A and B are shown apart, each in its own frame.
Chain A
């Protein structure tokens, strides 16, 4: 990695201030002043995620300074559902089956891209080169070269490129990460995350159109996706990098198709260990046959552990509640049998049992996972004509390291990042 830690902190601080400004009502007023023109948006890829983003966009009232002017999907049923959804909000966007027609014919300021992973890079690059700002779903691209090409197009065009890591926009995560960076959990010694689900990830394909299998179940085929790595792990790797304020230096990973031997090509379970230059490890695993442990990120410090998904902090020395007044304690002790016979000593063979302590809530008041805020921020950034650069880098390195994890699984080796993918 080229950038050093001090650089990262400095840039993160500046960008963080930008985010805070954008997230505040003052920031929004400022943004609205920056341009009173309505932001014209389009959604490309109106499958399940695309329509979810559309719905959030249409339902949100925080920033009314935008309009959805076009939607595009190359699969009829997805496009029809998007049109029906827009109609419910009394909106009639233009429809396209080819994104290049959309960007050539419809004047748009920004696009939201929610196509399958292998369809991110060329669409994003074409939009950026046309001066259209892009919010592209995570992960960035299917290959390392495409990921770099997307980043380069962003730098060369000067257009905004935001990657859909919604935790970056969640107030719960922003608050927790700020507290981690302020030293509340002490020195980070290890990070641990997992995403366990009980689902085979398969979607039904219409009986009369078996040729749609690869289009509908793109997540299961290597040509289009790196499976668990780009779909799930990338979210949590981004959080780990955010906590560390730096990126890994190596990854060792393994994975297999152990359970769902149904013709899929991507692993149905995997485990990886990422190392950072200070020796901190990020230990990750994902599986698809059991959801008992669910999804979690543990950031473990010498003072405390933060469990970010469950919004919980477990202190090594829990803050003791204010003791009751002495006299109340005395009465309590009398009630509890102060005068009972006291044993001479405890039994030496009894093992220490874990202290039962459920930790404390980190943050109150976050509704949802940050996707709604992500969209609001994207509109704000378009109005301000700039976005926090560190966020784009987070998306970039997360994608790079997700794909390097795949290389480690395939080669069985510890993998480092080739110099050509390092950015300043």
Chain B
């Protein structure tokens, strides 16, 4: 079998988390947090709600940024797996 145990081991070795990776992931998440925060400002203006929601809705904002992060992580994972397979063949 071509895509067997050895193959997976090699992939596992590749996803060992390095501090450089952590910083990159943090930057991506912070970017998404910024976008979510912007969305909150947009919705406060659009729905004429309270400016106090800038902090009272922080929970929402963080939840949205995490959701976006996970969504993007899934897309990135797919992209990365496909890329690996393509490169190997």
B48 cross-chain contacts in A, Cβ below 8 A: 326
Which 3 residue pairs are nearest across A and B when measured between Cβ atoms?
A326-B43, A326-B49, A330-B43
B40 cross-chain contacts in A, Cβ below 8 A: 326-327
CA–CA, A312 to B28, complex, Å? 54
Interface string of B56-75 (1 = CB under 8 A from A): 11001100100000000000
A330→B42 contact, CB < 8 A: yes
9 A-B pairs with C-beta separation under 8 A = A325-B53, A326-B43, A326-B47, A327-B40, A327-B57, A328-B57, A328-B60, A329-B49, A330-B47
Question: Nearest chain A CB to B86's CB is how many angstroms away?
Answer: 34
Q: Does A418 contact B (CB under 8 A)?
A: no
Q: Does B46 contact A (CB under 8 A)?
A: yes
Question: Nearest chain A CB to B55's CB is how many angstroms away?
Answer: 11
CA–CA, A326 to B47, complex, Å? 6
CA–CA, A389 to B33, complex, Å? 70
Q: Does A337 contact B (CB under 8 A)?
A: no
Instruction: Give the one of A323, A326, A329, A331 with max B CB within 10 A.
Output: A326
B interface with A by C-beta (< 8 Å)? 39-40, 42-50, 53, 56-57, 60-61, 64
Instruction: Give the one of A328, A329, A330 with max B CB within 10 A.
Output: A330
A323 cross-chain contacts in B, Cβ below 8 A: 47, 49
Question: Nearest chain A CB to B82's CB is how many angstroms away?
Answer: 29
Q: A326-B45, A327-B43, A330-B47 are in contact. List 20 more A-B contacts (CB 8 A).
A: A325-B43, A325-B50, A325-B57, A326-B40, A326-B47, A326-B48, A326-B57, A327-B40, A327-B44, A327-B53, A327-B57, A327-B60, A327-B64, A329-B43, A329-B47, A329-B49, A330-B39, A330-B42, A330-B46, A331-B60
CA–CA, A323 to B1, complex, Å? 59
Chain B, Cβ-Cβ closest to A329? B47
CA–CA, A330 to B64, complex, Å? 12
A328 cross-chain contacts in B, Cβ below 8 A: 57, 60
Interface string of A322-357 (1 = CB under 8 A from B): 010111111100000000000000000000000000
Within 8 A of B (CB), among A306-326: 323, 325-326
Question: Chain A: how many interface residues by the 8 Å CB criterion?
Answer: 8
Question: Nearest chain A CB to B52's CB is how many angstroms away?
Answer: 10
Interface string of A48-72 (1 = CB under 8 A from B): 0000000000000000000000000
CA–CA, A329 to B43, complex, Å? 8
B64 cross-chain contacts in A, Cβ below 8 A: 327, 331
CA–CA, A212 to B40, complex, Å? 81
CA–CA, A329 to B42, complex, Å? 11
CA–CA, A295 to B12, complex, Å? 76
B39 cross-chain contacts in A, Cβ below 8 A: 327, 330
Question: Nearest chain A CB to B18's CB is how many angstroms away?
Answer: 35
CA–CA, A326 to B53, complex, Å? 8
B50 cross-chain contacts in A, Cβ below 8 A: 325
B49 cross-chain contacts in A, Cβ below 8 A: 323, 325-326, 329
CA–CA, A77 to B36, complex, Å? 81
A326→B61 contact, CB < 8 A: no
Chain A, Cβ-Cβ closest to B61? A327
B60 cross-chain contacts in A, Cβ below 8 A: 325, 327-328, 331
B61 cross-chain contacts in A, Cβ below 8 A: 327
Question: Nearest chain A CB to B29's CB is how many angstroms away?
Answer: 18
A325 cross-chain contacts in B, Cβ below 8 A: 43, 49-50, 53, 56-57, 60
Question: Nearest chain A CB to B34's CB is how many angstroms away?
Answer: 14
CA–CA, A327 to B53, complex, Å? 9
CA–CA, A331 to B59, complex, Å? 14
Instruction: Give the one of B42, B47, B61 with max A CB within 10 A.
Output: B47
A331 cross-chain contacts in B, Cβ below 8 A: 60, 64
CA–CA, A329 to B45, complex, Å? 12
B42 cross-chain contacts in A, Cβ below 8 A: 330
Question: Nearest chain A CB to B74's CB is how many angstroms away?
Answer: 19
B43 cross-chain contacts in A, Cβ below 8 A: 325-327, 329-330
Question: Nearest chain B CB to A336's CB is how many angstroms away?
Answer: 14
